[in-house]
């Protein structure tokens, strides 16, 4: 497996579309014609004018001669970086560094796959799921997507579109919102995963979200005898436990 070298590209923001709950779908086109090769699950950094870099998972699966990239970016009014970033996106030209990250699929394992995503953690999972679904040899795939409210599932129809006898979608709302008419599962995301232990034990497990969410999920799964060596996340590399 080849790890591709990181390079810097200047890009045009071809589309900036508000989906839901402050999450935007961003489409980038590179002035160089094609994006560098990357693996499903990797991320890029958008370099701000002051040199600071913001990381975002690449939501599109890799294809040869990639002309467009999709990102899912949450606008955070409390974050200076996020405000600077959206100013740059609205102006239409940005600089990116890619590919980054060691939590990816270079090929589809001959094992069931479990993807656990909080909020925009869905972006990384979308790339790996679409890559896996294209491979006829894939085993069962489970997506656990967690959000505080049903509106947090900012692409609600896509996992339903993926559904098949081998793709299983488990949306989980963390706040009990009877008034919102949510009839699905609610509670903590890792509790839903543990409830399904018999179904998914022995799978390769990928977790995406904040470091706090990833470590809480990892600890809960390991305490229930899921094997640590089968659990993967970028967080283990960029925010190691001291
Ligand atoms: C490897 C990586 C991938 C990321 N991918 C995305 C993404 O696809 N979409 C997005 O909107 N933000 C993503 N983020 C967060 C994003 O980089 C920051 O929100 C942004 O840079 C603003 O910076 P900040 O320092 O103000 O926020 P930070 O304090 O760095 O983070 C703000 C928010 O981002 C969330 N966050 C942190 N890590 C991740 C992650 N891996 N995936 C998803 N959310 C995360 C946190 O829970 C928090 O709510 C990612 C971060 C990292 C490290």
Please tell me if the CB atom of residue 159 comes closer than 6 angstroms to any atom of ligand 1.
Answer: no
- Are 7-100 and 113-238 equal in CATH topology? no
Query: Domain 7-100 classified CATH 2.40.30.10?
Result: yes
How far, in whole angstroms, is CA 81 from its chain's centroid? 20
* 158 vs 183, higher pLDDT: 158
Query: Which among 54, 71, 117, 125 is the best mutation to test ligand 1's pocket, defined by most ligand atoms within 8 Å of the CB?
Result: 54
Question: How many residues would you count in the chain?
Answer: 242
Answer yes or no: are the C-beta atoms of 83 and 77 closer than 8 Å. Answer: yes
Domains of the chain, residue spans: 7-100, 113-238
Distance CA 17, CA 191 (A): 33
Across the range 222-227, mean pLDDT stands at 97
- pLDDT single digits (tens) 69-125: 999 999 999 999 999 999 999 999 999 999 999 999 999 999 999 999 999 999 999
pLDDT, position 4:
80
Structurally, at CATH architecture level, domain 113-238 sits in 3-Layer(aba) Sandwich (3.40)
* 224 vs 177, higher pLDDT: 224
Residue whose CA is at the smallest distance from ligand 1 atom 7? 56
Residue whose CA is at the smallest distance from ligand 1 atom 20? 54
Answer yes or no: are the C-beta atoms of 193 and 145 closer than 8 Å. Answer: no
What are the beta bridge partners of residue 68? 29
No. of H helices and E strands in the chain? 7, 12
Answer yes or no: are the C-beta atoms of 120 and 74 closer than 8 Å. Answer: yes
81 three-class SS: helix
């Amino acid at each position: 497996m080849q790890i591709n070298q990181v390079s810097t590209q200047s890009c045009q923001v071809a589309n900036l579309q508000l989906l839901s709950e402050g999450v935007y779908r961003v489409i980038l086109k590179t002035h160089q014609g094609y994006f560098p090769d990357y693996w499903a699950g990797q991320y890029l950094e958008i370099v701000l004018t002051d040199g600071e870099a913001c990381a975002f998972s690449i939501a599109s699966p890799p294809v040869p001669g990639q002309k467009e990239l999709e990102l899912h970016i949450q606008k955070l009014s409390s974050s200076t970086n996020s405000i600077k970033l959206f100013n740059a996106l609205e102006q239409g030209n940005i600089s990116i560094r890619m590919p980054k990250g060691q939590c990816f699929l270079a090929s589809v394992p001959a094992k069931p796959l479990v993807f656990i995503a909080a909020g925009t953690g869905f972006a990384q999972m979308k790339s790996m799921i679409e890559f896996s679904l294209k491979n006829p040899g894939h085993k069962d795939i489970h997506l656990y997507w967690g959000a505080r409210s049903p509106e947090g599932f900012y692409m609600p129809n896509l996992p339903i579109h993926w559904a098949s006898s081998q793709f299983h979608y488990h949306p989980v709302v963390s706040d009990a919102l009877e008034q919102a008419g949510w009839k699905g599962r609610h509670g903590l995301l890792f509790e839903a995963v543990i409830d399904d232990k018999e179904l998914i034990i022995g799978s390769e497990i990928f977790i995406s979200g904040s470091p706090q969410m990833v470590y809480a999920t990892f600890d809960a799964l390991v305490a229930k005898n899921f094997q640590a060596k089968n659990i993967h996340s970028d967080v283990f590399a960029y925010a190691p436990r001291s």
